[in-house]
Structure 1
Amino acid sequence: MPEPGWDVLSALGVVALIVVVVTAVVVVVLAIAMIRRHRKVHQPGVPVSAKVSYYGSIIYAVLPVDLLPDPILVDDIGVLAAALVYVGSVLKRVSRKRSQPLG
């Protein structure tokens, strides 16, 4: 007969596995959203800071060196989400400048 503590430990293990899988899926979705902006980031007039943010966030998500251990992907989610917001706002600003009539 198993000891009562093993039931709790098994439940915690399942919860931990679910959290890891969900955060990994979120990281993949955010990384795909970032990669889809590749062509827009390389258009003329996009500042270097947006390009650095673009590449930096992708490299941070891929490299094994993180602020938090790799099974905990909260830092990767934060970096990718912040970069998506920043790059998106810069790209909107650049497209507005392009659509303004000259003169």
Structure 2
Amino acid sequence: MSSDDWFYALFVIGAALLIAVLVLAVVLAVRVWKTGKYLQAMGVGGRWVFWGAIIYTIFPIDLLPDPIYLDDVGVLGGALIYLSRLAVKARQNRQQPGAGLPPQVQRRPPQRTR
């Protein structure tokens, strides 16, 4: 192989990696967007993380230049993990009767008397 062949091979491999990372960033952005339907239950912190991740991904000024989507993938992945945990907590709170109420107001199961 000549040096030109190596150059083209490296170029094709680099382009394929960039496309793969771009596809991963798009997939993560769609998943973050889909978790947005739980924003009301996530509170203010969830809303900040959601919109911050979406804006960071779209905004052209990043830590790394835009053809390199590794920082975007990291931000979206972190946001997805955080939002998923908040969504699970919100779902658990909805399933428990009286959850989210002050301790004085929460229903307690009746105690048996002997």
Name the counterpart of 2:59. 63
Name the counterpart of 1:25. 23
> Sequence identity of aligned pairs in percent?
34
Amino acid in the other structure paired with 1:18: A
* Superposition map of 1:1-103 within 5 A: 4-41=2-39, 43=40, 45-102=41-98, 103=107
Take 1:31 and 1:49, find their aligned partners in 2: how far apart are those partners? 18
4+ residue runs over 6 A deviation:
none
Relative contact order (C-alpha < 8 Å, sep 6+): which is higher?
Answer: 1
Give the drift of 1:4: 2.3
Gaps of 5+ in 2: 99-106, 108-114
Give the drift of 1:38: 2.0
Take 1:21 and 1:46, find their aligned partners in 2: how far apart are those partners? 33
Take 2:71 and 2:42, find their aligned partners in 1: how far apart are those partners? 26
Give the drift of 1:68: 0.8
Take 2:50 and 2:80, find their aligned partners in 1: how far apart are those partners? 8
TM-score (normalizing by structure 2): 0.81
Give the drift of 1:46: 2.0
Gaps of 5+ in 1: none
Amino acid in the other structure paired with 2:9: A
Take 2:79 and 2:42, find their aligned partners in 1: how far apart are those partners? 14
Tell me which structure has the larger Cα radius of gyration.
2
